[in-house]
Amino acid sequence: MGRSGPDPVAAEAIQALERAGVSVRIVRADVADEAQVARALAEVRETMPPLRGVVHAAGVLDDGTVLNLDRARHDAVMAPKVAGAWNLHALTAGRTLDFFVLFSSVASLLGSPGQANYAAGNAFLDALAAYRRARGLSALAIDWGPWSGVGLAAAGENRGARLARRGLGSLSPEQGLRAMERLVRLSPVQIAVMKFDFQQWCGSDATLASSPLLAGLAEENTGLAAAGNASGGVREGLLAVEPGRRRRALLEDHLRRRVAQVLRLVPDRVDVGKPLRALGLDSLMALELRNRLEADFKLKLSATLVWNHPTVTALVPHLADRMGIPLEAVEPADAAPVTMRDDADLVRVLNEIEQLSTDEARRLLSDQIPQA
């Protein structure tokens, strides 16, 4: 269903389906117009087997900065999303459907400069999915990242490349369809499907990184750069974590990502114990890495840094030391094992535990857990 007929790409896909034995009916209707949707559904009822599912994939773009979005430009983008999805919801609400899929966008989750109207329209789809599910109706909102090759993102000049530079890569149609097939079966209420480099995204623009959603993720995420970007600096991200295994792992993870960035590798390919030179680091890359680390840690570092400390593992204590940030947990003075002889002892110990701050309690507990 669409306002105009299928374009050549869609027509070709429809022909392929028909050749495979699928019966396809093309209906011209504006999904934002209730009467037209009602007519389309009546046609389905009269001429086809019972309706089992709905895929809402209608959408248009009209990008502009908020100050330039007048009512007409706002409504044109909102209509197929808000009125369109609502019409499909309301006019099928009495039926049991196997699926009700809403094509939403990561614009509603991450924000998207110049797309306030589009982000808001998609946020409505996300909310509608939750609303339907709360009423026992099938619903799945997929917040898609950009697709390559076909559709709105690919049609925009440089849109895909611009987003990729920020850390949001494009999905191929095959990847998108494979994901959709799984999601219809798994049926979460709302899920984002995107090729997302969290660090790159946060690093590309401070306002993007300051979204509450990403700040929350940064706290949960082990990525130090992300935590740092969200909270003001990489150093701060490191200091926000207790000394010990986790702090060391954060620093190591950060260095691994930086090395991977310079080597154009995925972070998992960087063996932290292997000399950087053996991983392919040449002298220009060594300088690039040094510069990035200087910016990250606000330190002046030697040009021979990575030759004097040739592995990620060797860089960790050196850089921590240069920043004056301890990596090892300091043994609490009162961490000695307590022997309880009688009830009075037990009460005393319980009282002491009650006095502990959450952090002190956590530290005592983690000291009791054997380290791997």
Beta bridge partner(s), residue 192: 143
Residue with the closest Cβ to ligand NAP? 151
Residues contacting residue 298 through CB under 8 Å, at least 6 positions apart: 233, 235
CA distance 42 to 36: 10
Nearest 5 degrees, angle CA 250-CA 254-CA 257? 140
CA distance 250 to 224: 6
Task: Kindly report the number of other CB atoms within 10 A of residue 270's CB atom.
Answer: 21
Min dist CB 155 to ligand NAP, Å, is 7
Is 144 a binding residue for ligand NAP by CB under 6 A? The answer is: yes
What is the amino acid identity at position 171? L
Q: For ligand NAP, which is the closer residue by CB, 83 or 315?
A: 83
CA distance 138 to 51: 13
Is 203 a binding residue for ligand NAP by CB under 6 A? The answer is: no
Is 57 a binding residue for ligand NAP by CB under 6 A? The answer is: yes
Is 110 a binding residue for ligand NAP by CB under 6 A? The answer is: no
Min dist CB 78 to ligand NAP, Å, is 11
Q: For ligand NAP, which is the closer residue by CB, 146 or 167?
A: 146
Residues contacting residue 107 through CB under 8 Å, at least 6 positions apart: 115, 118, 119, 122
Is 190 a binding residue for ligand NAP by CB under 6 A? The answer is: no
Dihedral sign, CA of 173, 176, 181, 182? positive
Q: Which of 44, 60, 184, 323 binds ligand NAP (CB under 6 A)?
A: 60
At residue 194, φ and ψ (nearest 5 deg) are -155, 155
Q: For ligand NAP, which is the closer residue by CB, 164 or 241?
A: 164
| SS3 sequence of 278-344 | HHCCCHHHHHHHHHHHHHHHCCCCCCCHHHHCCCHHHHHHHHHHHHCCCCCCCCCCCCCCCCCCCHH
Q: For ligand NAP, which is the closer residue by CB, 123 or 218?
A: 123
Min dist CB 14 to ligand NAP, Å, is 12
Nearest 5 degrees, angle CA 229-CA 234-CA 237? 85
CA distance 194 to 52: 28
Q: For ligand NAP, which is the closer residue by CB, 57 or 287?
A: 57
Q: For ligand NAP, which is the closer residue by CB, 160 or 228?
A: 160
Please identify which residue in the block is written with the tokens 């400390």.
Answer: 309
Q: Which helix (H) or strand (E) holds 169?
A: strand 168-169
Min dist CB 59 to ligand NAP, Å, is 3
Is 30 a binding residue for ligand NAP by CB under 6 A? The answer is: yes
Q: Which of 103, 124, 201, 297 binds ligand NAP (CB under 6 A)?
A: 103
Residues near ligand NAP (CB under 6 A), total: 22
Piece of 28-36, 208-216, 219-227, 276-284 that binds ligand NAP (CB under 6 A): 28-36
Is 100 a binding residue for ligand NAP by CB under 6 A? The answer is: no
Min dist CB 61 to ligand NAP, Å, is 8
Is 4 a binding residue for ligand NAP by CB under 6 A? The answer is: yes
Min dist CB 171 to ligand NAP, Å, is 8
Is 124 a binding residue for ligand NAP by CB under 6 A? The answer is: no
Is 126 a binding residue for ligand NAP by CB under 6 A? The answer is: no
Contacts (CB under 6 A) with ligand NAP, residues 249-308: none
CB 32 within 8 A of CB 79: yes
Q: For ligand NAP, which is the closer residue by CB, 29 or 320?
A: 29
Task: List contacts with ligand NAP (CB under 6 A).
Answer: 1-4, 30-32, 57-60, 79-80, 84, 103, 105, 144, 146-147, 151-153
